[in-house]
Amino acid sequence: MNKERRDFIRKTGLGVLAGICASSGLLPKFSLEETVLPAWDEKPVPGKIRWGMLIDTRKCLNECSECVAKCHFVHNVPDFGNRKDEVKWIWKSSYEHVFPTSTQQFRTSDVLLRSYIAMCNHCADAPCTRACPTEATFKRWDGIVSMDYHRCIGCRFCMAACPYGSRSFNWRDPREGIKLASVDYPTREQGVVEKCNFCSDRLVRGLIPACAESCPQKAFTFGDLNDPKSDIRALLESNNTMQRKPELGTKPSVFYII
Amino acid sequence: MIEKALKGNRNYWAWIASLLAVIAVGITAYNRQHWFGLTVTGMGRDVSWGFYIAQFTFLVGVAASAVMVVIPYYLHNRKEFSKTVIIGEFMAVAATLMCLLFILADMGRPDRVLNVLLFPSPHSMVFWDVMVLNGYFVINLVSGWTVLGAERRGVPPPSWVKPVIYLSIPWAVSIHTVTAFLYAGLPGRHLWLTAVLAPRFLASAFAAGTSLLILVTLVIKQCTGFDTGKEAREKLAVIVTYAGIVNFFMIGTEFFTAFYSHVPSHMHSLQYLFFGLEGHYSLVPFMWFSLLLGLGSLVVLLLPGKKSSPKWLAAACTGLVVSIWIDKGVGLILGGFVPSPLEEIVDYHPTLTEVGVTLGIWAIGLLVLTILLKVAVSVKSQE
């Protein structure tokens, strides 16, 4: 083989390679269609924002469960009508169940009779994300503990790890338990874990979480815990609040005014 | 060498056929679970692990107990264990296989199991458990098979196998330590949140796993006439006795810490298991049966002369296996979930489907063990 032939073959090969790279977008400058990657351009700064929720339990009405209904509708949370298969993102329970390690003796009857909202705490130091073997549940840059339903293997380690019972498993096909389907959020599959996502799906659309929006009593305050000028910080500074099981060091992002 | 498993008498084939029948039942049950989801089990939102994870925990102990023959034979050169060591190693292989199958059976999406390797997460104890269990499976299969193959050809085993065997010793400790860490690092599960869990797992493993090994050698002697030696069995029985005592001592320390400190959350699970809590008593008879059976078996082993009688030895070993299976399998897993983190009590009962899958996996384990031991016994008795 003479030199010209070898050069010709080499150059043709390189040309074909460059063509493949260009058309597949590996060389952005030469790509046929420009690749837009805003997520890379405006990379979020981890820890800058920490979304949090403050629930004023004094305002919460016992007979009302608008927040639960709205959240479960928006996110296509199934209802099978039994406790064993139950999936829930937000629910109401009694003081002794939501705050089992807090003062139980000599509380006013008002405190003991009231019902309390329980949801994922989006802990700053979340045991569930530590336990997950596939990073299917992970901490986002804005403090939200999120789920990747397509990566979850259904081992339920996160459920054993969560000290708040905030996680649910799809013991059966969830679509069978959805009476009225919402188009705002995808349904899940049988065999994966799910939980409250702090409405990360609504936040990107500029909406506040569904529970906060639906509350007729305005008992929820959603905001950035790291922003000293936010409403939630103002309320946290002017009220005596508490978190669920603070002794575990999980640093919940959900606070309660009792 | 595997061809030796294809030659056997009528009893051998009847045993294989019955195992295959149970496996078929298990596959049918698993098919149902795979189709309808884990809702067909007794597990639910509150008790989210059950029978499968209980078997898994117990069997990790059985697998780890192989070191109780590997250490005396390979480290201390105790020749009386020469015929038992291969049985211990192959038992570890079968037990580890069952562990992996029970994890698979428990998963909601077993088709995604490789995600554990695709997205390795060193912060998750499951990742480490998958690593050490698969490693242990390979180590025991390779070392057992290689040494046996060399023996068949009448040559000394290759020199590379010694380090592999030595590696199996710390590795056995690691599988059970990591398994304990699966539970012992979770906040809000007070029965599990104890530093003594890993040592207790090891003690109960060396008691129940070694007991099972003694029973297997007795069965082999009965069925094939191949005797691993009375002396080895009695030495193993001594190990069982001490490990059993340490295990029950540590259970006692759990009681002391919970009930003397009087911290409610620390007492609740033990109260639920042993005394009943708020009208829920379903596990109380099992836990007391386990405790009394275990202590009774230890008394038999401690009485002079009882160890050398095969009948008493078999009875005591069976007692310890059943006792520890209840305590460390069922009791430990369910007690971790009841009361729930919201202090609610929900009872758990396994369903027929769940029991079917469980029996199927045990049958697969026994089938693998039978085949491996058939080869081992054929080689050892130079058929």
A160:B340 CB<8 A: no
Q: Which of A33-42, B43-52, B220-229 is predicted most confidently? A: B43-52
| Residue A58 CA: distances (Å) to CA of A110, A218, A258, B78, B129 | 9, 11, 6, 73, 46
Q: In this structure, are A33 and A143 located in the same domain?
A: no
Per-residue DSSP letter, A92: E
Asked if pLDDT for residue A21 goes beyond 70, the answer is no
% of chain A surpassing 70 pLDDT: 90
B38:A84 CB<8 A: no
Asked if pLDDT for residue A45 goes beyond 80, the answer is no
Nearest-CB residue to A153 (from B39, B113, B341): B113
Any domain includes A59: yes
Q: In this structure, are A212 and A84 located in the same domain?
A: yes
| Distance in angstroms (rounded) separating the CA atoms of residues B290 and B248 | 11
Q: In this structure, are A118 and A31 located in the same domain?
A: no
| Distance in angstroms (rounded) separating the CA atoms of residues B32 and B1 | 37
In this prediction, residue A42 carries a pLDDT of 60
Mean pLDDT value across chain B: 93
- Assess B285–A contact: CB distance below 8 Å, yes or no: no
Neighbours of A185 (CB within 10 A): 17
Chain B (322-361) residues lying within 8 Å, Cβ to Cβ, of chain A: 336-337, 340-344, 346
Any domain includes A141: yes
For residue B281, give every residue at least 6 positions away whose Cβ sits within 8 Å of its Cβ, in sequence order, or none. none
Asked if pLDDT for residue A36 goes beyond 60, the answer is no
Amino acid in position B39? T
Query: Residue B228: which pLDDT band, with cuts at 50, 70 and 90?
Result: confident
Any domain includes A42: no
Q: Which residue has the higher pLDDT, A205 or B2?
A: A205
Q: In this structure, are A126 and A237 located in the same domain?
A: yes
Q: In this structure, are A88 and A12 located in the same domain?
A: no
Separation in Å, CA of A190 to nearest CA in chain B: 6
**Considering the entire predicted model, what is its pTM?**
0.90
Report the b/e string of B140-154 with b at 16+ CB within 10 A.
bbbbbbbbbbebeee
Task: Tally the residues of chain B.
Answer: 383
Residues of chain B found within 8 Å of residue A131, distances taken between Cβ atoms = 124-126, 186
In this prediction, residue A94 carries a pLDDT of 94
List of long-range contacts for B5-14, beta carbons under 8 Å, 24+ apart: B5/B371, B5/B374, B5/B375, B5/B378, B7/B378, B7/B383, B8/B374, B11/B223, B12/B374
% of chain B surpassing 70 pLDDT: 100
**What are the pLDDT digits (tens) for A85-113?**
999 999 999 999 999 998 888 999 999 99
Any domain includes A44: no
End-to-end CA distance of chain B: 12
Any domain includes A87: yes
Residues of chain A found within 8 Å of residue B34, distances taken between Cβ atoms = none
The encoded tokens of residue A198 equal 């702090």
In this prediction, residue A4 carries a pLDDT of 83
Query: Residue A81: which pLDDT band, with cuts at 50, 70 and 90?
Result: very high
Nearest-CB residue to B108 (from A132, A162, A191): A191
Do the Cβ atoms of B63 and B92 come closer than 8 Å? Answer: yes
Q: In this structure, are A29 and A135 located in the same domain?
A: no
Q: In this structure, are A71 and A32 located in the same domain?
A: no
**What are the pLDDT digits (tens) for B155-183?**
999 999 999 999 999 999 999 999 999 99
Domain that holds residue A113: 51-257
Asked if pLDDT for residue B72 goes beyond 60, the answer is yes
Asked if pLDDT for residue A216 goes beyond 60, the answer is yes
Nearest-CB residue to A192 (from B108, B186, B342): B108
Give which of A153, A164, A168, A250 to mutate to test B binding, by max B Cβ within 10 Å.
A153
> What's the 3-state SS for B185-240?
CCCCCCCCCCCCHHHHHHHHHHHHHHHHHHHHHHHHHHHHCCCCCHHHHHHHHHHH
State whether residue B49 is helix, strand or coil.
Answer: coil
Separation in Å, CA of A188 to nearest CA in chain B: 12
| Average pLDDT, integer, range A187-207 | 95
- What CATH superfamily classification does B2-380 receive? Formate dehydrogenase/DMSO reductase domain (1.20.1630.10)
Q: In this structure, what are the phi and psi dihedrals at residue A57, rounded to the nearest 5 degrees?
A: -70, -15
Per-residue DSSP letter, A45: P
Query: Residue B82: which pLDDT band, with cuts at 50, 70 and 90?
Result: confident
Please give the angle made by the CA atoms of B113, B117 and B123, to the nearest 5 degrees.
105
Helix ranges restricted to H, B303-381: 310-324, 332-337, 352-380
In this prediction, residue B225 carries a pLDDT of 87
Pairing mode of beta strands A137-139, A254-257: unpaired
Q: In this structure, are A84 and A201 located in the same domain?
A: yes
> What ipTM was estimated for this complex?
0.90
Q: In this structure, are A16 and A141 located in the same domain?
A: no
Query: Residue A8: which pLDDT band, with cuts at 50, 70 and 90?
Result: confident
In this prediction, residue A1 carries a pLDDT of 59
What's the domain count of chain A? 2
Asked if pLDDT for residue B304 goes beyond 90, the answer is no
Least confident among A31-35, A188-192, B74-78, B334-338: A31-35
For residue B165, give every residue at least 6 positions away whose Cβ sits within 8 Å of its Cβ, in sequence order, or none. B70, B74, B143, B147
Cis ω for the linkage preceding B341 (within 30 of 0): no
Q: In this structure, what are the phi and psi dihedrals at residue B128, rounded to the nearest 5 degrees?
A: -65, -35
A153:B109 CB<8 A: yes
Q: In this structure, are A29 and A136 located in the same domain?
A: no
A191:B106 CB<8 A: no
